[in-house]
Amino acid sequence: MLSALKAEGLTVLLTSHFMDEVEALCDRICILKHGRAVFTGTTAEAVAASPFETFEDAYLWFTEEEK
């Protein structure tokens, strides 16, 4: 349903901890750590700004969480 709404051009604010969902549905993201934004941009930009090659690893790096 969210993919269909996105295809129609509707803006949706999505909160998720599922990185595959975020990569598939979000044009822009904001990663929060303790309620503060630590990254804003695209998932590709998040990966590029981190020392990792996957978005999930980049997310963990930005939030300083462990796998």
- Considering only CA atoms, which of 35, 37, 55 is closest in space to residue 47? 55
- Considering only CA atoms, which of 39, 41, 60, 40 is closest in space to residue 51? 60
E runs forming strands in the chain: 29-33, 36-41
pLDDT tens per residue across span 8-57: 999 989 999 999 999 999 999 999 999 999 999 999 999 999 999 999 99
Q: Under a CB-based contact definition with an 8 Å cutoff, are residues 30 and 37 in contact?
A: yes
Specify the amino acid at residue 64: E
For the whole model, what pTM was predicted?
0.86
pLDDT tens per residue across span 13-26: 999 999 999 999 99
Q: Under a CB-based contact definition with an 8 Å cutoff, are residues 59 and 31 in contact?
A: yes
